[in-house]
């Protein structure tokens, strides 16, 4: 069944001019973009988005990085959207990501790893609602 996931093209990707290349890869993999916007995450928004990682040692750095420059947030749709995007992204650490994945190609460190993708259908719904109202989404 077609379902949805949320991606963030992270600040390092936008800074380096890699947004176009990354979104092309996503479309080529069969995703439909059902909503997209370029935003600067406020510190408070980044804190709220990554609240699940509050207790992790890298939380402060992660929040600072995500608020360090503009990002693109997009709601994506296709069959098995969550799993397919995670596969296309590759492992969290670009050094460990499979060859040909977005993180292997565009990520520069375990933190500045080019792209976010929801990790479950339930989180995808929560994350899409974090950035988009239903009226902003069109298949």
Which are the catalytic amino acids?
A: 116
Q: Give the 3-state secondary structure of residue 95.
A: coil
Map residue 92 onto helix, strand or coil: coil
In this structure, what is the dihedral angle of CA atoms 5, 11, 17, 22, given to the nearest 10 degrees? -20
Q: Match 């909503």 to its residue by tokens.
A: 35
Q: Judged by CB under 6 A, which of 20, 44, 51, 58 binds ligand GDP? A: 58
| Residue 111 contacts ligand GDP per CB under 6 A | yes
Residue of 8, 3, 118 whose CA lies nearest to 67: 8
Q: Do 113 and 6 form a contact (C-beta atoms < 8 A)? A: no
Is residue 61 within the footprint of ligand GDP (CB under 6 A)?
Answer: yes
User: Of 71-110, which residues contact ligand GDP (CB under 6 A)?
Assistant: 92, 110
Q: Determine which residue in the list 4, 25, 84, 116 makes contact with ligand GDP, applying CB under 6 A.
A: 116
Nearest distance from C-beta of residue 111 to ligand GDP, angstroms: 4
Rounded (5°) CA angle 131-134-135: 110
Note whether 24 binds ligand GDP by CB under 6 A.
no
**Least spacing, CB of residue 94 vs ligand GDP, in Å:** 10
User: Is residue 137 at the binding interface for ligand GDP, with CB under 6 A as the rule?
Assistant: no
Q: Which residues are at the interface with ligand GDP (CB under 6 A)?
A: 58, 61-62, 92, 110-111, 113, 116, 119
């Amino acid at each position: 069944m077609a379902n949805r996931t949320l991606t963030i093209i992270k600040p390092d990707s936008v800074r380096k001019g890699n947004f176009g290349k990354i979104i092309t890869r996503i479309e080529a993999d069969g995703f439909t973009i059902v909503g997209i916007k370029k935003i600067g995450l406020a510190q408070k928004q980044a804190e709220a988005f990554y609240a699940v990682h509050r207790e992790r040692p890298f939380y402060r750095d992660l929040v600072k990085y995500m608020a360090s420059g503009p990002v693109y947030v997009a709601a994506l749709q296709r069959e098995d959207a969550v799993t397919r995007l995670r596969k296309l992204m590759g492992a969290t650490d670009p050094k460990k990501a499979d060859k040909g994945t977005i993180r292997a190609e565009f990520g520069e460190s375990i933190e500045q790893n080019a792209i976010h993708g929801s990790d479950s259908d339930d989180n995808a719904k929560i994350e899409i609602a974090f950035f988009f109202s239903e009226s902003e989404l069109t298949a």
